[in-house]
Structure 1
Amino acid sequence: MVEIPPPAELSRLAALIGGEATLRLIEAHGGTRIFVPARPNQGHPLARTIGLEAARALAAEWGSTWLKVPLCRHWRVRVYRARGESYKAIARRLGMDESGVWRILHAARMTGEARQTDLFSET
């Protein structure tokens, strides 16, 4: 289950098919355009990827059109880390280096590193 809410650019898609199906769609087709059939069946590649119910919901909204699937690397980095994946595994999965993973997580305050205290604070 996706624990990290999707970014605004995915809100419509995630509301329509759910967070997990959205993640599977991005993992399979991120960075490309896919044709959404008007009436997908169980054997259609889209239904096999995201599930028949999600494919039908997608078809109700975008049937017989092309859908651009974003990469959403920042969101996926945070999702994978929240699931306990290592920086190395995430970097390999997304085709980026570990320092890029760290930068994304650091910006999201998800690095798990203790914050340095102020040496001169009065606490």
Structure 2
Amino acid sequence: MAYRPHITDAAQVFSDEEIISLMPRNFSFVAQLLGAEASLHLIEAFGGTRVFIPAHHAINVNHAITHAVGLKSLQRLAEQLGKTYIEVPMGTPITIAMRNRAVRDASKKESNAKLARRFGLTLRSIRSILSSEEKIKSNVDKNYDLFAN
């Protein structure tokens, strides 16, 4: 069976800043608000769907989001984004980055053919991963600040 990283294991592989930078730009605000670990749990529970964030006064312990991220995190989310829908990403860039890091680490001990079988990839994909350096993309805003010096 091929190696498939689990989204909640990203905290063991990457720092919080790296995890947030791997998330889509429209979700990075939510990730910074909740923290990396709670965001990963939200992605695990609701990835690929739209989720309604209730108003602050409508939150209770039995809410589905509370089971994923906890009551305090949902309260912070409701204060900022209450009564709106958010789209929760699948987290694919995070799991791909985890897999690529695992391929690079395992390449010191195993041949490319063994890596391809272990990770369920082609030899061409393994060579591509190994030849490219690891770079974590950044969600830096490319627009200039109007009021900057």
Q: Does the pair score TM above 0.5?
A: yes
Q: How many residues align?
A: 100
- The equivalent of 1:22 in structure 2 is 39
Give the aligned partner of residue 109 of structure 1: 134
Q: How high is the sequence identity, in percent, across the aligned residues?
A: 29
Output the CA distance in 2 between the equivalents of 1:109 and 1:11: 21
Q: Which gives a bigger RCO, structure 1 or 2 (Cα 8 Å, sep 6+)?
A: 2
* Structure 1 contact 77–105 (Cα < 8 Å) conserved: no
Tell me, which stretches of 5 or more residues in structure 2 are unaligned?
1-9, 107-114, 136-149
Q: Alpha-carbon deviation of 1:105? A: 5.8
- 1:56 match: secondary structure: helix
> How far has the Cα of 1:81 moved from its partner?
7.1
Q: What displacement does 1:78 show? A: 2.9
Distance 1:42 1:29, change over 3 A: same
**Secondary structure, in 3 states, of the residue corresponding to 1:23?**
helix
Structure 1 gap segments, 5+ residues each: 92-96, 111-123
2:134 maps to amino acid:
R
**TM-score scaled by length of structure 1:** 0.62
2:5 maps to none
How much has 1:53 moved relative to structure 2?
A: 0.9
Name the SS for the 1:43 alignment partner.
coil
Query: What letter corresponds to residue 89 of structure 2 in structure 1?
Result: P
RMSD: 3.4
Runs of 4+ in 1 over 4 A off after TM superposition: 79-83, 101-108
Q: Which of 20, 26, 29 is the matching residue for 1:12? A: 29
Contact between 2:48 and 2:88, CA under 8 Å: does it hold in 1?
Answer: yes
Given that residues 49 and 89 in structure 2 are in contact (C-alpha distance below 8 angstroms), is that contact kept between their aligned partners in structure 1? yes
Check 1:77–1:12 CA distance in 2 against 1; reply closer, same or farther (3 A cut). Answer: same
CA distance in 2, matches of 1:30, 1:103: 30
